[in-house]
Chain A
């Protein structure tokens, strides 16, 4: 973890902001690491701005790379462009302000975005009933926002750097990640083999978020106030995002509520299907949940490896290695009870 609060670093960030905001003076009044974001670091940044169009007391977020990257996430400069695109498209993305690619400022690329109000913590959102008085409403807002996101089709000239990742591409990528990790993982190999044999024959390709789940959206006044963590976006099968938000591993304290621990299946699927015009079959939902657990298990192994390799000693990363058993257990449960080996799905 870099220390942005070292006096000289902080002064360089202030100088960068003064220039970027066209201000006479910038004084950072608060700069502290926000919880969440094991892959990227988010820092709450409050600043007093004198002069220019941003004058006043501002509440921003500084987003920068953590010490080691996981899976294939976007570079900060690419994520900045994604946020510009998604914010303009009205997808509840935070508004990005400035990108800093000058490595002499903090040593890493970072960008500044507006800080949105609300609570993101998956533990709180699924436990504190007062945060979501009307669960069906939040589920509907999440579903309709996701349907808008999935209405964006390739090619998009502003997003030319995005990969296209359909079901079989995912299988190939995850196998290559497994091959780079020490030790064999037979249960994950089984999940991948199942995903390969049961891969859909025809897939639609749209803009997809690939981390649209509880813990990554902001709840404010009971409604959807923001969608965070746009570092994994790609073009791919929109049902991948639906499987991801349903996956058991993202239900936190709300294990009995399949949609991210906050709502019943129909409360999300109804509005999603109406708004998108797509049908989400039971098979597709199972398929993409299996893929979700395989993917999260591989990311968890990579995170544990960041600790084990000595690159980034961390209790949180170490414990992440021990959630893999739970993910494998769920992969086996899903593939066993859905035993039509060549079920085929659209």
Chain B
């Protein structure tokens, strides 16, 4: 009985984390962070000049991946909510692959309607507000220093 109680939280976590088993610490974020610090602090100073740029690119790629991992689906959820509002549709919760499929669908429609002029006039401010927030969220992951 005691064993079953102990197991229950593990099964629960398997279910809610898309069947990814609970891993040992350090977790993904912690591994990325120490990998990046080792590269910058211990390897970079000993690299010849012609390899330094590539090492800095690797560090940058790790930093982007870390921020993307930390942000999770928050940006995508917010983007979907704004897109639905832009098209006067009701909010509806979706996650995972369905979230990205929904985003792709709305963005295709948005791209087409921008091109054909729907947002030239009175819906322009709403469009720009949405695009600005989307760009800022993407930039916060890709290059927060530029914000």
Contacts and interface: CB of A to CB of B under 8 A. Distances in A.
Most buried by B among A35, A315, A318, A329: A329
A192 interface: yes
B60 interface: yes
A332 interface: yes
A190 B120 CA distance: 9
Contact of B115 (A192, A315, A335, A341): A192
Interface string B112-142: 0011010111001001100110111011011
Nearest to A178: B111
A187 interface: yes
Contacts, number: 78
Contacts of A318: 61
Contact of A326 (B115, B119, B120, B143): B143
A183 B136 contact: no
A185 interface: yes
Most buried by A among B53, B135, B143: B135
A326 B142 CA distance: 8
B13 interface: no
Contacts of A328: 131, 135, 138
Interface in A118-146: none
Contacts of B108: 184
Contact of B110 (A183, A186, A325): A186
A186 B143 contact: no
Interface string B50-62: 0001100110110
A187 B120 contact: no
A186 B127 CA distance: 10
Contacts of B104: 183-184
A203 interface: no
Contacts of A35: 53
A316 interface: yes
A35 B107 CA distance: 37
A175 to B, nearest CB: 7
Contact of A193 (B117, B136, B143): B117
Nearest to A314: B57
A336 B128 contact: yes
Q: How large is the interface on B (under 10, 10 to 19, 20 to 34, 35 or more residues)?
A: 20 to 34
Given A193-B117, A332-B131, A186 B111 contact: yes
A175 B111 CA distance: 11
B146 interface: yes
A43 to B, nearest CB: 15
Nearest to A35: B53
A192 to B, nearest CB: 7
Most buried by A among B108, B139, B141: B139
A89 interface: no
A336 B132 CA distance: 10
Contacts of A2: none
B111 A322 contact: no
B81 interface: no
A197 interface: yes
Contact of B139 (A185, A319, A325, A336): A325
B146 A329 contact: yes
Interface of B: 53-54, 57-58, 60-61, 64, 104, 107-108, 110-111, 114-115, 117, 119-121, 124, 127-128, 131-132, 134-136, 138-139, 141-143, 146
8 contacts: A183-B107, A184-B107, A186-B134, A315-B57, A319-B60, A322-B143, A326-B142, A329-B132
Given A186-B131, A190-B131, A315-B57, 11 more contacts: A184-B108, A186-B107, A187-B131, A187-B135, A189-B115, A193-B120, A315-B58, A319-B60, A322-B64, A329-B135, A332-B132
- Smallest CB-CB A-B distances: 3 pairs: A325-B138, A184-B111, A184-B107
